[in-house]
Structure 1
Amino acid sequence: MAFFGYNDAKTLVGVDVAIYEYILAHETGVPFMHVRDLAAGAHVSNSSVMRFIRKMGYSSFPEFKVAFHKQSLEASPDLETGVQLLTAETFPSTLQRTLDLVAQTILTANNVVFTGTGSSANVAEYASRLTSTLGINSFPVTDPYYPLIPQLKQTTKNVLITLSVSGQAAEVLGMLRQFQNDPATTLISITGHRDSPIAMISTYALTYHTTEHRIHGHYDLTSQLPAMTIVEALARTIRRQAQLPHH
């Protein structure tokens, strides 16, 4: 995709070329980046990025990101009207490493609870069924006011996995904080925001990038495909680790 009127990268010089080419190669990830992320990816300084942004006519990096994202949608209307396919930019490069650690934790747990509300509740139920098929003692909790503490009171090695796109659901966060300092429970999250409160209190956070879509202020149309992909990748990782010989 050409942008800012540049159809030929040869019109750019110096570090601007590296920045331009990096932006084009990571189009879907740019709206989620900070200046330091773009600078590190293009192997230039933060100040070089900001000089480039100002050359393009923008006074700030957030202003540039909004304009760039809008142009991307206009160039690819199917992102709004059709199926938005997953790309490498949807997930962090460290995802599989974290999946390995989570799978190890689940395989040594006595109880695994998947929780979420709204659309995430459906994914939690699916995740619980999928892991149960692998022989994991797993069950879903889709009511944040469910008396989970009494149920787990006499148990050890519990894993509580929360699904939340925003990572900010107040009622879910309230439930999780009851387990935050519980040595018998490991908190894990699957969320679209790595800096969210739910992710921050989790021992392991499996994160992804997505754009939230709501209509009439609160009806959620955000895709659950990234979360489903992580759930299925987790199931495959558990199955692979369970088949490895123990040393």
Structure 2
Amino acid sequence: MAFFGFKDIDKLSEVDMAIYRYIVDHDEQVPYMRVRDLATGAHASNSSVMRFIHKIGYSSFPEFKVSFQTENQDLKNSNDDILTMFTRDAFPNDIEKTIKLVAHLMLDADNIIFIGMGASGAIAEYASRQAASLGFNCYAMKDPYYPLVQQLHNTSNNVLVTLSVSGKTIELVEMLNNFVNSADTVLTSITGNIESPIARIGRYALSYNVEETRIHKYYDLTSQVPAVYLVDGLLKELHNQDVARRIN
């Protein structure tokens, strides 16, 4: 039986839930408590504690304590690095300077297009929405076969920001190749591979280092947290430059 994995929470009474929450909040002390200690802490009776213990599947209080201590320790060991997925070392030393340069390009752009596929496409939509909230004309593009060249044919001063973890997505590379020699469109990227084609064909690349993770060969589980971090940093700098320009 698993305490933290107990699924029939809806079958617990109000008193049971008070005991349950007390155990969760005092996980380090519970293995050393007696029934009366737990009952006092949870403001319940000894009999209520024992009914709770039986209800969640244990035949005795000692059995519960041994099982709980093991389960709690395993849970703590498995959670050691959940919030340390990346550090400042994941970014180049000059990343702040590059962010300022890309934001400066976006500041005076007539059109800002965030491009991405899959999970990167979702981040492109997020970036576009946030930039639009700041008052900039922008939109997201998740379809690499969309006739973007024709749409931007009679426009100028465009900035394309492509998001790609690998920087090698063939469909995106082919799409961006249409703008390589365009005087009206500047290519930039946010990528996990500074040596990739998408990073190389753009004027600036906001890059990061993160371990690539795939399952079943095709499914990419690589963390997108660094990409979102860069997007937020870019939009913050864009807003700061816009405010400074208005003041001056």
TM range, smaller chain: 0.5 to 0.7
Unaligned runs of 5+ in 2: 1-76
Give 1:92's aligned amino acid: P
Label 1:94 to 1:104 Cα distance change in 2 as closer, same or farther (>3 A).
same
Partner of 1:11: none
Partners of 2:198 and 2:90 in 1: CA distance: 19
Which consecutive unaligned segments of at least 5 residues does structure 1 have?
1-75
**Mapping for residues 138-217 of structure 1, pairs under 5 Å:** 138-217=138-217
In 1, Cα distance between the equivalents of 2:82 and 2:232? 23
Cα distance in structure 1, aligned partners of 2:78 and 2:231: 28
Matched, 1:106 2:101: no
- The secondary structure found in structure 2 opposite 1:161 is strand
Would the aligned equivalents of 1:115 and 1:142 in 2 still touch at CA under 8 Å? Answer: yes
Q: Distance in 2 between matches of 1:229 and 1:245?
A: 24
Return the alpha-carbon distance in structure 1 between the equivalents of residues 150 and 84 of structure 2.
42
Could you say which residue in structure 2 is the equivalent of 1:35? none
| 2:77 pairs with 1:96 | no
Tell me the SS of whatever aligns to 1:244.
helix
Q: Given that residues 86 and 210 in structure 2 are in contact (C-alpha distance below 8 angstroms), is that contact kept between their aligned partners in structure 1?
A: no
Residue deviations 1:61-115, cap 9 Å, x none? xxxxxxxxxxxxxxx9658x83443311011111110111111100110000000
**What secondary structure, in the 3-state scheme, does the structure 1 residue paired with 2:205 have?**
strand
**d(CA) in 2 for partners of 1:216, 1:102:** 36
Counterparts of 2:97 and 2:141, CA distance in 1: 27
Q: Secondary structure at the match of 2:114?
A: strand
Moved more, 169-178 or 83-92: 83-92
Q: Which has the larger radius of gyration?
A: 2
The CA deviation string for residues 154-200 of structure 1, in whole angstroms up to 9 with x for no partner, is: 00000111000000000000000000100100000000011101000
How far apart, in 1, do the equivalents of 2:114 and 2:216 lie?
A: 29
Contact 1:78-1:84 at 8 Å conserved across structures = no
* TM-score, normalised by the number of residues in structure 1: 0.66
The list of structure 1 runs, each at least 4 consecutive aligned residues, that deviate by more than 4 angstroms after superposition, is 76-79
- For the residue of structure 1 that corresponds to 2:186, the secondary structure is strand
Paired residues, number: 171
- In structure 1, the residue corresponding to 2:93 is in which secondary structure? coil
Normalised to the residue count of structure 2, the TM-score between the two structures is: 0.66
1:229 matched to which residue of 2? Answer: 229
Query: Given residue 231 of structure 1, which amino acid in structure 2 is its aligned partner?
Result: V
CA distance, structure 2, for counterparts of residue 238 and residue 120 of structure 1: 20
